[in-house]
Structure 1
Amino acid sequence: MLAATALSQNATDPLSGLVLREVPKPEPTPGWSLVRVVASSLNMHDLWTLRGVGHPPERLPIVLGCDAAGYDEDGNPVIVYPVIADADAGMGDETLDPGRALLSEQHDGAFAEYLTVPTCNLVPKPDWLSFDEAACLPVAWTTAYRMLFTQARITAGDRVLVQGAGGGVASAAIKLAAAAGAVVYATSRSETKRAEALSWGARAVVGTGERLPERVDVVVETVGEATWAHSMKCLRPGGTIVIAGATSGANPPADLNRIFYLQQRILGSTGCTRSELVAMLKMMDATGLRPVIDRTLPLSEIHKGFQLMIDGTLTGKLVIHPNA
């Protein structure tokens, strides 16, 4: 079968290590299931792997792709929950298991016609969700859901700032927060993406670093150094910044005096638990929320897809069809 495989890593030329090649169809071990992948989607995690960030070179080669929706061996439509972990080791939360691994970190991922995952990681795909839509959810949407509802615990009427509107997590956060009754603000350097964010439910969208109409209760931060100072200035006393990424750099000035004096909270967050994925699906069913899909591409054009991500021209998610 054809698969997009990371063979090497290069910080300045990440796509040089991404190769499309034929690999054997995987065989499931006891407790695991074979999934025929109908759709997958790109994530920044894949790009970090190719750049050598957070992924040891001794784990190469590995098939990339963290998101998958398809059919199990019995023909049932499924969404693949992407965290492979032991909930007991995480005190009931598999995302806190020290040995957890996201799909494509220790096990071959979803940019292939087939993959194998623990059977317990299969979640039934609802009929009202297309395979393309389902493939956008496992990493980006669940990350946004956990940031907002598990970590920040937003409620209706809260003021929420989402930095960097346009990415997969940011677009999900805007839609989810607005659906929960929050007043949502967002930032972007792109006029087009600012307009898109308004259509997703944001009350106002400003240029990166520009002043907001009011201070906010919660900041959803996935950009890092480039937006950190702005996030701090926009946060009310006692407010919360939730961090689930640092695409522009991971070492911003902490401004500890401001944090302790204003009693602000800085919370880390990752992807969600399986139960949170199921809860999010229920929320999407009740509200009619659907992910933003920029475009779809066949697996043969995955290099083009990654280049669009590198160039920052995507709005929402880019879906890959391994069998196209």
Structure 2
Amino acid sequence: MQAVKLTAHGDRDVIEYGEVPDPAVDRDEVLVDVKAAALNHLDVWTRRGLPGIDLSFPHVPGSDMAGVVDAVGDDVTRFEPCDRVAFFAATTDSGGEGGDGPPRDDPTLSSDFSIIGEHSQGVHAEYAAVPAANLIPVPEGVDWKVAGSAALVFGTAWRMLIHRAEVQAGEHVLVHGASGGVGHAAVQIADHAGCTVYATGSSAAKLDHAAECGADHVINYEETDFAAAVDDLTDGRGVDVVVDHVGEATYDGSLRSLRKGGRFVTCGATTGGNPDAGLRRIFWNQLSVIGSTMATPEQVAEVLDLVWAGDLEPEIRATLPMSETARAHELIENREGFGKVVVIPDSEL
């Protein structure tokens, strides 16, 4: 079969599209005929080998996809051929409770937690053999590009806001990187939860998209100090919650944007993971710093129900053949556009 493959860690020239062995299906796995897949920033980190990722090459990347069940392992009972499914990538080595039961209640807190596509072979291929426990049914009528691009970013943002930061209606939420995958999902989720949403971005076009997603206030961080803008917009109070996956570049301003007793929730650090801790501000203002990674199966199912219903929707910035995955990486690295980058197996085009 044809698949995206990394030949080594490095720049975009290590990305190829070509023949790889057909996947074998274990007893607790499902073989999925992939109809659409999506990239995430972790695909860039995986390709670069950061932080400390040690892979066997060639490596098939990819942690988002959706498609049609082609075959099932002997122990699988939840799915059968022709079922429509979406995939989420959080897993543990110990798998589920029996052949196709759900993984542990919170696989992200397990000592053997890993991400399919980052730590093991991924799903950017014509076919993918994945644990049945990592699949969610997709209703008829849901577009494949939507189904193949929602699970990771909406699951991550849902866990951050609803389960970790525990946002409440009426609260004020600042979302950084509102043009990216997690960012545009977080804007929609905070708006859906009844919050007043503040979004940062680097251009008028990106901020217009953030407003369309539900942001009440937009701030161009290239032109203004976003923390000062938040101070003005909230009459000096600050926001209740900051959603940050940017890291060093925004950390200090994020703490300055919070009201006393506010919550800073992070799922990544694309500009670096070692800012000054800001401990004096944290203890004096009694701030909570909350880490969040991926989501549980139940949390992914919760938010995908809203996606399937059309209440939340992944924005698609580009759709490319899998053979043009290097260009997809370029779009993400150069922060071109707004939302998700989708790749389709060439045989589906």
Q: Which residue of 2 aligns with 1:76?
A: 83
Are the counterparts in 2 of residues 8 and 57 from structure 1 also a CA contact under 8 Å? Answer: no
Q: Which residue of 2 aligns with 1:257?
A: 280
Q: Which residue of 1 aligns with 2:319?
A: 296
Q: Which residue of 2 aligns with 1:200?
A: 213
- Identify the match of residue 309 of structure 1 among 332, 335, 347: 332
Q: Which residue of 1 aligns with 2:154?
A: 141
User: Is the aligned partner of 1:117 residue 2:130?
Assistant: yes
User: Is the aligned partner of 1:99 residue 2:112?
Assistant: yes
- Quote the offset at 1:174 in angstroms: 0.3
The one-character-per-residue Cα deviations of 1:85-130 (angstroms, maximum 9, x if unpaired) are 2468x97311111212211134321210001111122210123421
- Quote the offset at 1:141 in angstroms: 1.2
The one-character-per-residue Cα deviations of 1:28-73 (angstroms, maximum 9, x if unpaired) are 0111111110000011111001111035334332101100100112
CA distance, structure 2, for counterparts of residue 294 and residue 64 of structure 1: 20
- Identify the match of residue 198 of structure 2 among 185, 192, 201: 185
TM-score (norm 1): 0.94
Are the counterparts in 1 of residues 13 and 326 from structure 2 also a CA contact under 8 Å? Answer: no
Are the counterparts in 1 of residues 176 and 243 from structure 2 also a CA contact under 8 Å? Answer: yes
User: Is the aligned partner of 1:237 residue 2:260?
Assistant: yes
TM-score (norm 2): 0.88
Q: Which residue of 2 aligns with 1:8?
A: 8
Are the counterparts in 2 of residues 34 and 117 from structure 1 also a CA contact under 8 Å? Answer: yes
SS in 1 for 2:62: coil
Identify if the C-alpha distance between structure 1 residues 287 and 16 changes in structure 2 by more than 3 Å, giving closer, same or farther: closer
Are the counterparts in 1 of residues 181 and 339 from structure 2 also a CA contact under 8 Å? Answer: yes
Amino acid at match of 1:316: G
The one-character-per-residue Cα deviations of 1:7-41 (angstroms, maximum 9, x if unpaired) are 1112xxx2122122211111101111111100000
CA distance, structure 2, for counterparts of residue 37 and residue 168 of structure 1: 21
Are the counterparts in 2 of residues 59 and 106 from structure 1 also a CA contact under 8 Å? Answer: no
- Runs (4+) of structure 1 moved beyond 4 Å? none
The one-character-per-residue Cα deviations of 1:158-198 (angstroms, maximum 9, x if unpaired) are 10000121000000000111011110001111111011111
User: Is the aligned partner of 1:247 residue 2:291?
Assistant: no
CA distance, structure 2, for counterparts of residue 26 and residue 173 of structure 1: 35
CA distance, structure 2, for counterparts of residue 225 and residue 124 of structure 1: 38
Q: How does 1:266-305 map to 2 (within 5 A)?
A: 266-285=289-308, 288-305=311-328
The one-character-per-residue Cα deviations of 1:195-222 (angstroms, maximum 9, x if unpaired) are 1111111011012133111210000001
CA distance, structure 1, for counterparts of residue 308 and residue 121 of structure 2: 31
Q: Percent identity?
A: 37
SS in 1 for 2:320: strand
SS in 2 for 1:237: strand
Identify if the C-alpha distance between structure 1 residues 301 and 197 changes in structure 2 by more than 3 Å, giving closer, same or farther: same
CA distance, structure 2, for counterparts of residue 57 and residue 67 of structure 1: 21
CA distance, structure 2, for counterparts of residue 94 and residue 314 of structure 1: 32
- The aligned length equals 320
CA RMSD of aligned residues (A): 1.6
Are the counterparts in 1 of residues 68 and 83 from structure 2 also a CA contact under 8 Å? Answer: yes
SS in 2 for 1:115: strand
CA distance, structure 2, for counterparts of residue 122 and residue 175 of structure 1: 23
- Identify the match of residue 19 of structure 1 among 16, 19, 22: 16
CA distance, structure 2, for counterparts of residue 58 and residue 24 of structure 1: 17
User: Is the aligned partner of 1:62 residue 2:69?
Assistant: no
The one-character-per-residue Cα deviations of 1:126-159 (angstroms, maximum 9, x if unpaired) are 2342110011112111111100001001111110
CA distance, structure 1, for counterparts of residue 301 and residue 127 of structure 2: 23
SS in 2 for 1:70: strand
